[in-house]
Amino acid sequence: HDDARYAFYKMIIGIDATNVRDGGGLTYILELLTTIVPANHGISKIVIWGSSQTLAKLPYIAWLKKENPPALNKGLFVRTFWQRFKLSHAARKSQCDVLFIPGGSYKGTFKPIVAMSQNLLPFERSELNRFGISLIWFKLNILRYTQSHSFRFADGVIFLTEYAKQAVLKVTGPLSGDTIVIAHGLSSRFRMRLKAQRPIGDYTESNPYRLLYVSSIYPYKHQWHLIEAVHILRTQGLPIKLDLIGPAFPATLPRLKATIAKFDPEKIWVQYHGAIPYETLNNFYAQSDLGVFASSCENMPIILLEAMASALPIACSNCGPMPEILGDSGLYFDPENPLEIAQSLRMYIDSPELRNEKAKASVERCQKYTWERCAEETFAFLSKVGRK
């Protein structure tokens, strides 16, 4: 009996964080490691390889071993070289039973590995081609190749949505390893109470009805179509304002600026705030009346979940996994059709009852998206693959 317990608690999990610096990748790893109880899954130790900057942000726990090879403090090429030629040896030296690759790309020799698919752009050709023949287009095509290889090589692959899984499999074909869909969690600070929904007559130009779209400025995010849709509603005399938040892709920013200049030259009702600290983002949700999400390509739209949890009624793109996440708790539109976007927004604006109904449904629907569930399912899967 004692030997059986010892065998159960001896598994060692390795995590490749060689190219994790900040943003969603760091948030994901941080949430997993601060939520999980490894012993519940027969895990005695977790070893993670990353830069000194990344590792400094992770907790100090007895079962967590942080490894910082000097190469991981250098540029992308050096880090990628280390991952390709040194990580496998490091994982064997640490006696790992399974190696987890959250970034999805791996060309080493260690087995077994579990890869995670987090970027859907390389696998949707029509969306990828929005960038034209450019540096990012070539990078995404390379990523399509490297991640396809990794997923075929992997003993297990984690997808974030069922939609993303099917989109990737169309490119890779059937995978030999195990697959599972595990959605990310949602920070509790975005969870808010329902707001009283007031008729549009209660709003004025000095106290406008506020629309919020949080997303980076990329060709597939369609902020310009949303601006035109809001312009249509403004010409109907509605006192509405649009707040746009998110970092800008340099090649796309001129299009956004030109659209704002065309429809709101006096900068009265469109405000682009740029990138803001993630820690303060929930304040914008709290001050808004309606959430909009107009992207046409997502793996798992965390921003959509944030708006849902913030008790906002949601007008949403009908593309990708958005209907899988939002279900029947929102209104949908074609993100490239400004008139259709405007019609969805108008339905909400005209009906406080509809806003209340959808906001309530959104709050209830997003309750299942927790980091506790994500961590439990992730490490259960890693443990399962390792024991095979």
Q: What is the pLDDT of residues 82-100, one digit of tens each?
A: 999 999 999 999 999 999 9
Task: Count Cβ atoms below 10 Å from residue 160 Cβ, excluding itself.
Answer: 23
Residue 227: predicted pLDDT = 98
Q: 238-266 burial string, b = 16+ CB within 10 Å, else e?
A: bbbbbbbbbebbeebeeebeebbeebbee
> CA–CA separation, 28 vs 331, rounded Å?
29
Strands 11-17 and 43-50, how do they pair? parallel
Tokens 């949700």 correspond to what residue? Answer: 285
Residue 9: predicted pLDDT = 54
Residue 1: predicted pLDDT = 40
> CA–CA separation, 304 vs 296, rounded Å?
13
> CA–CA separation, 245 vs 274, rounded Å?
5
Q: Which residues of the chain have pLDDT under 50?
A: 1-7
In the DSSP assignment, the letter for residue 221 is T
For residue 112, whether the previous peptide bond is cis, meaning omega lies within 30 degrees of 0, is yes
> CA–CA separation, 146 vs 17, rounded Å?
17
> CA–CA separation, 35 vs 310, rounded Å?
22
Q: Locate all alpha helices (DSSP H) within 106-161, ordered by sequence.
A: 125-128, 135-153
> CA–CA separation, 241 vs 209, rounded Å?
6
Residue 209: predicted pLDDT = 97
